[in-house]
Structure 1
């Protein structure tokens, strides 16, 4: 039996090889080849929106694959850019939109936007990582969450920054066994509870992040055994372990993204 932690470590301990395996998948290789061959010819937001393969690839790279249908919304994000504090993307709580606008900052750079490395190889790197995490999640959502947390841990600066990202918050709640009543409480109280329970500065240290994810995967495995993974099985377990059925269901429906 391969546990959640073992599966996570098999991917994480040699992330370059894991990403190479993803890059070699025929469908991924085909879309990546198309993206790199054509992104340089995209000179405007209209061009970007008109090429569905470029558009979908870029959105997936930013964790926004599920928002590809909302073209008017995405157009507004790109049209206003990020230079102005009042820009649409800057007002959204979800930072993925601002990241998309930074990568494709047509508002600032016009036709030169797609000539920068961040819009070319940078997008490809993000696409491969997103695909890697999604593929892992198809087998075990806990592995996907662990990989996501590992990637984003260095951006955590406070309890509130944890709560601002649903996936990060889910990992922390599971790892700490946060009771349902705390998870449903005022966000300021939740942030204070998190900061009291862990030193967020530890997340700047990869070794300490690894130890934290050992704890998370152990707690996840306790309620979602890998030999019979079923998030609904927790309904038959004791409520005293600190992970509620509602929390587990919400974890399995999370939309993970970001850079």
Structure 2
């Protein structure tokens, strides 16, 4: 049986425990047989891949490639993934640029099949970088099987520094956060935004995100998220609000209703 992350409690207390034990837990997780087999295979084979067609034709390689970008659920959508990769990201009408989820654009850009004459798979450090990302994603996924809020918190803490340090404009970085489903959920919950928020005009959404983040997090720029203390404040607000919401759902009234529903009916 593969190692499963240890989460003795939920919420903020569980987050702090996970942070304290992260190095030990991830090292044990990454030494598991399945992870080791998959990553060794990827490192051995990826340098020989020249086209998107070759990549999607090898399920073992594709599993790591998709998993490194949080897209493992698309493992059976080979035609779609091939199109995302072959279109690249440089053309405005490329498929990844037309999708709401920004993870596809990051995925296509990372491999470079549609953007460069020679794909990034030929770079000497490409395999190692992809494997490192895959291991982090797999650990987060394993955490999520026990506590999805904790998975989203880990994902935010990992992804936000890269976005914060990007050279894109302020609005472009915000749009990337808004277009990446796991990050968007963390921000929406942390800032107390309703589920219906995503239905309003996109420019209005941007304005609300910026105003709320400034008022509640003191966030003057996305670049501020490069600082660990700012990300920690975001994650803490997210986890605390999630705990409160779950407490309301499982409060005394809900418990009583559940008990009533489970009382056997008399004929």
Match of 2:191 among 172, 176, 194: 176
Aligned partner of 2:236 among 214, 217, 224: 214
Q: Does 1:153 align with 2:160?
A: yes
Contact 1:12 1:147 in 2 (8 A): no
Q: RMSD over aligned Cα, in angstroms?
A: 2.9
Deviation at 1:224, TM superposition (A): 2.8
Between stretches 184-193 and 70-79, larger displacement belongs to 184-193
In the other structure, the counterpart of 2:104 is 97
* Higher normalized contact order (CA 8 Å, seq sep 6+, divided by chain length): 1
2:74 is aligned with 1:67: yes
Is 2:196 aligned against 1:194?
no
- What CA distance in whole angstroms lies between the structure 1 residues aligned with 2:229 and 2:213? 15
Aligned to 2:40: 33
Structure 1 gaps, min length 5: 226-230, 238-259
Distance change (3 Å), C-alpha of 1:73 and 1:213: same
- Which structure's CA Rg is the greater one? 2
Which SS does the other structure have where 1:8 is aligned? helix
The structural deviation recorded for 1:139 is: 0.9
Which stretch shifts more, 150-159 or 165-174? 150-159
Shift of 1:138: 0.8
Q: Which runs of 4+ in 1 moved over 6 A?
A: none
- Go from structure 1 to structure 2 and tell me whether the alpha carbon gap of 1:189 and 1:79 turns closer, same or farther (over 3 Å shift): closer
CA distance in 2, matches of 1:3, 1:76: 40
Q: Once the 2 structures are TM-superposed, how far is the Cα of residue 179 of structure 1 from its aligned partner?
A: 4.0
SS in structure 2 at match of 1:224? helix
1:203 matched to which residue of 2?
225
The number of equivalent residue pairs is: 232
Residue 254 of structure 1: aligned partner? none
1:189 Cα offset (Å): 3.2
The answer to whether the 8 A contact 1:18-1:132 is kept is: no
Say yes or no: does 1:165 pair with 2:187: no
Shift of 1:64: 1.2
How far does residue 83 in structure 1 lie from its aligned partner after superposition? 3.4
Alpha-carbon displacement from aligned partner over 1:214-250 (angstroms, at most 9, x marks no partner): 122112122336xxxxx9648967xxxxxxxxxxxxx
1:57 deviates by: 1.4
Deviates more, 1:196-205 or 1:126-135: 196-205
Moved more, 198-207 or 154-163: 154-163
Hey, what's the Cα distance between the residues in 2 that align with 1:236 and 1:148? 33
Corresponding position of 2:55 = 48
Between stretches 80-89 and 64-73, larger displacement belongs to: 80-89
